[in-house]
Every structure is written in structure tokens, then in C-alpha cells.
């Protein structure tokens, strides 16, 4: 699908298209778009031989690509076939609690060329896209943000978080629980098939998890490297099997090199379908010879590992990072899809500068489910909530009380904040290990 539109200048046009190939060769339009993304994220230009692999992956993801092109003739500038702004979307499921999956509209590859900043190009792209997504019936949009200050004004709120951790696996390392099942070192290539099968079970049990795009199986299995679709021979892998011989978890990892001290193994990806499997994968990692530290950048905030260790002081949380940002598109669809551990009845007004989710709604939660009804514009409400705040509250990654203390619920009474907190309370922190 192609769309054309004018922006700040009559020479600027928007095109919207799939990842295209001409036989085994990516189209010139795809190549130009990819060049712009590489430049926007300060990456080396992608070799022509690799573009076909990326185009294949993007097609498998059903990605929709957007580009803004500047057709003004200017001698010596970069080719007009390379967009001055890029944007892409796809749809994958998100676990919204209780094993329930909701299709989420995912946004990625957002760039604007420095020469074309401050012209409203991102606003034009993102508002047009969100309006399309809402019209198509999607209840929620999601992204992972390179810059934290950009997306709040478009209604997104940080919703899931991870921690970077380092675990001392020298003499002090040991688990309190006896071994369960077996862990075997695996051919990394086996994770191309086995990894997605195990991840699907992790995804089904983990609130906040997002289903994965094509490239993940390639990278965790060493078929692709981080920076090019060529084999990464540094990848190693292990799989945990339960007492029945069923694979329940995997870890993909690489050595940081002999020049780094203490000698460190870095986890590339770890997914476990049970708490038992999670512990056993760590038992395996702690048994790797000649290694002093295990480093992982995507550990859960509520990590059971330090409580499983005989010496919890060997576990060090180095930093925290937001992962998933959410934006409500359709309050009725989004709220009724979610699982509720809490109960209550709340009338709320959603304030949305883009108008997509704006309105007054009655939310009644009981027995794990919610019923949502639109209210009239003059109906009384318990409180007003900005749409980005609702994005942060949606999965339970932060409480209403914390947001009120931060000044994010101005004018709300203590009673209204309490109702909001009870309804959206969750028994487990949301957790997402998928970037896109």
C-alpha cells in the first residue's frame, strides 16, 4: 500500500509499503529505507548481500514500512530515494495477565534525519499510524524506546522494567534447592526451532511478555549475529529438561573475552517455562569452568535468583531500564482484555491529546474480568487520568499510589487513587525480554 501526503513542505511525501523483493533481491525502495535506518541509529551501511535476509525477515513479520521523502532537487545531497524519516510497524501478541493474549500494535525503526528535525515529521507519522491502528480495531500500541523523553507526548507510558545483574559464580555460588531434571549443552543451531517453542510457553505464563519477531530465533541460535545476518560462532547454548525429558528452558550465551576481568559470561537470551527451569539454567551457568561472573541485562525486577542462592550477596543489580512502553488506543477493548487480580468499580475520565482514547468510562472488575461502558460527557467521574499514565498502569508495573506521589494523578482524591490501585493491582510484576 502506498500513501502520499504533504507535510511542512510540498516536496515532502509519505510512502507506506511492505518489505519488498524483486526475486531474491530487495527492492530499491527497501534498500533506501534501510540505508536511512542505519544512518539514524549510527550503524554501518548494510551490505547488499545481507539486505535480502533482512527483507525476508521483515516480510515474515508482516512489517509495514513508512518513509518520508524529500523530492526537492538539491545538488550533492544524499539520494532522494533515501527517506528523511523512517517508521515501521507490526502486530504481535502481548500477555495481559492470566494467560490472556492481546494483539499489540508495535512501533519500531523511528528515525528523522538531522536536517529535517523540528518539522513535525515524527508527529505526522505517529499520529497517522495510531489513527490507522485504532481504526483497524487494535486496542493497544507498544514500543521500546531508545530515548525516554520522546513518546510520552504521544500517549505512551513506560510499563515494564528489567535489571542488569552480575552474579558471582566462584566458590560462593550455590543454590539452596536440589537439582531437578537435567541441563545439557546444546548445538546453538537447535535453538532456531526449539527456542521459539520454549519461548511460547514462557510467553503464555509471563504477564508483559511480547511475542517475538523473525530475527530472534536467528540470533539466539547463532545463525545471525547482532550486526549482520551471518553466523556468530561465539554463541553457546544449553537446554533444561524436566524429569519427563521435556525441554522447559534454554539459555544462549557468549564469553566476554580473556581481556575482560573478572572473566565474564554474558547471557544473550534466557527463557524458562517454569521456576524450576529458571533455577536449573542458573545452576548450569554457575558450573561453567574458568568463569567468575555471569552478566545479564534483562533480569526481572522481582528476580527469584537471589532468594535461591545460598549467598544472596553474590547477586548484584547494576542498573534498571524500562523496556515496554504502552499506549491505549481503545479503552473498552484494552481494559476488557486484561486479567484482573483486584476488584472494584471506578468511573474515570481519560485525557488524550490525540483524542483516540479520550472519554469517560465506567470500569467494573470482578472475578478476573472487567466490564467497561462509555459514559456521557457530563457524567460524574472519580478521577481523570492522562492516557500515558494509563499505559504505565495497564500491566501493573507501577501502582496508582506511586504515580499519585509522583504528581502524575493531579486532583485525585485518596479514595479514588485507592480504587484505581486496587483494580489494577497484580500479583506479579510484568516482565518483557523482547526488544523490537
Is position 436 annotated as part of the catalytic site? Answer: yes
Distance CA 269, CA 237 (A): 9
- The answer to the question of whether 119 is labelled as a binding residue is yes
- Provide the β-strand partners of residue 101: 95
- The answer to the question of whether 236 is labelled as a binding residue is no
Catalytic: which of 156, 202, 250, 436? 436
Is position 216 annotated as part of the catalytic site? Answer: no
- The answer to the question of whether 124 is labelled as a binding residue is no
Using only C-alpha atoms, the chain has a radius of gyration, in whole angstroms, of 23
- The answer to the question of whether 146 is labelled as a binding residue is yes
- The answer to the question of whether 120 is labelled as a binding residue is yes
Cβ–Cβ under 8 Å, residues 238 and 251: yes
Catalytic: which of 34, 87, 151, 431? 151
| C-alpha grid cell, residue 330 | 481503545
- The answer to the question of whether 118 is labelled as a binding residue is yes
| C-alpha grid cell, residue 376 | 456521557
Cβ–Cβ under 8 Å, residues 409 and 417: yes
Cβ–Cβ under 8 Å, residues 425 and 399: yes
Residues 6+ apart with CB under 8 A from 363: 335, 345, 346, 347, 348, 370, 371, 372, 423
- The answer to the question of whether 110 is labelled as a binding residue is yes
Q: Which residues of 178-200 are buried (b: 16+ CB within 10 A; e: fewer)?
A: eebbebeebebeebbebbbebbe
Residue 119 burial by CB count (10 A; 0-12/13-18/19+): exposed, middle or buried? middle
Residues 6+ apart with CB under 8 A from 7: 14, 68, 119, 120, 121, 124
Residue 418's H or E segment, with its range, is helix 414-424
Residue written as grid cell 479520550: 358
- The answer to the question of whether 176 is labelled as a binding residue is no
Identify whether 262 is preceded by a cis peptide bond (ω within 30 of 0): yes
- The answer to the question of whether 190 is labelled as a binding residue is no
Distance CA 31, CA 199 (A): 31
- The answer to the question of whether 230 is labelled as a binding residue is no
Cβ–Cβ under 8 Å, residues 359 and 324: no
Residue written as grid cell 508483559: 208
Identify whether 181 is preceded by a cis peptide bond (ω within 30 of 0): no
- The answer to the question of whether 65 is labelled as a binding residue is no
Residues at the annotated binding site? 110-112, 118-123, 146-147
Residues at the annotated binding site for acetyl-CoA? 110-112, 118-123, 146-147
Which residues are known to be catalytic? 151, 436
Amino acid at each position: 500500500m502506498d500513501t502520499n501526503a504533504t507535510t511542512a513542505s510540498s516536496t515532502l511525501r509519505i510512502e507506506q509499503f511492505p518489505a519488498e523483493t524483486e526475486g531474491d533481491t530487495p527492492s530499491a525502495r527497501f534498500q533506501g529505507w534501510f540505508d536511512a535506518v542505519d544512518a539514524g541509529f549510527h550503524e554501518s551501511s548494510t551490505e547488499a548481500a545481507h539486505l535480502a535476509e533482512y527483507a525476508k525477515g521483515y516480510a515474515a513479520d508482516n512489517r509495514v514500512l513508512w518513509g518520508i521523502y524529500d523530492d526537492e532537487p538539491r545538488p550533492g545531497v544524499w539520494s532522494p530515494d533515501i527517506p528523511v524519516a523512517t517508521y515501521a510497524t507490526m502486530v504481535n501478541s502481548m500477555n495481559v495477565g492470566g494467560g490472556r493474549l492481546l494483539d499489540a500494535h508495535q512501533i519500531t525503526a523511528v528515525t528523522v534525519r538531522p536536517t529535517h528535525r523540528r518539522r513535525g515529521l515524527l508527529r505526522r507519522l505517529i499520529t497517522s499510524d495510531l489513527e490507522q491502528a485504532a481504526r483497524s480495531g487494535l486496542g493497544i500500541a507498544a514500543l521500546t524506546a531508545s530515548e525516554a523523553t520522546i513518546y510520552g507526548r504521544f500517549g505512551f507510558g513506560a510499563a515494564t522494567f528489567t535489571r542488569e545483574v552480575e552474579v558471582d559464580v566462584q566458590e560462593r555460588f550455590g543454590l539452596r534447592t536440589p537439582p531437578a531434571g537435567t541441563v545439557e549443552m546444546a548445538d546453538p543451531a537447535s535453538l532456531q526451532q526449539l527456542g521459539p517453542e520454549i519461548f511460547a510457553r514462557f510467553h503464555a505464563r509471563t504477564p508483559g511478555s511480547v511475542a517475538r519477531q523473525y530475527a530472534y530465533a536467528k540470533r539466539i541460535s547463532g545463525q545471525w549475529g547482532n550486526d549482520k545476518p551471518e553466523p556468530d560462532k561465539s554463541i553457546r547454548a544449553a537446554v533444561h529438561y524436566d524429569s519427563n525429558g521435556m525441554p522447559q528452558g534454554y539459555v544462549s550465551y557468549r564469553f566476554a573475552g580473556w581481556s575482560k576481568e573478572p572473566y565474564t559470561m554474558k547471557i544473550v537470551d534466557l527463557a524458562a517455562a517454569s521456576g524450576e527451569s529458571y533455577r536449573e539454567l542458573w545452576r548450569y551457568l554457575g558450573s561453567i569452568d574458568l568463569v567468575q561472573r555471569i552478566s545479564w541485562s534483562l533480569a526481572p525486577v522481582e528476580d527469584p535468583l537471589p532468594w535461591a542462592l545460598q549467598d544472596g550477596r553474590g547477586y548484584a543489580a547494576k542498573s534498571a531500564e524500562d523496556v515496554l512502553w504502552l499506549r491505549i488506543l481503545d479503552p473498552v477493548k484494552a481494559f476488557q482484555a486484561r486479567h484482573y487480580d483486584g476488584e472494584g468499580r471506578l468511573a474515570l475520565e481519560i485525557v488524550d491529546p490525540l483524542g483516540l482514547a479520550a472519554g469517560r468510562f465506567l470500569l467494573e472488575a470482578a472475578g478476573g474480568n472487567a466490564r467497561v461502558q462509555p459514559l456521557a460527557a457530563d457524567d460524574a467521574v472519580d478521577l481523570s487520568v492522562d492516557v500515558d499514565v494509563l499505559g504505565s498502569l495497564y500491566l501493573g508495573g507501577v501502582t496508582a499510589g506511586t504515580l499519585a506521589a509522583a504528581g502524575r494523578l493531579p486532583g485525585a482524591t485518596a479514595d479514588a487513587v485507592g480504587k484505581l490501585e486496587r483494580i489494577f493491582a497484580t500479583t506479579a510484576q510484568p516482565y518483557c525480554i523482547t526488544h523490537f
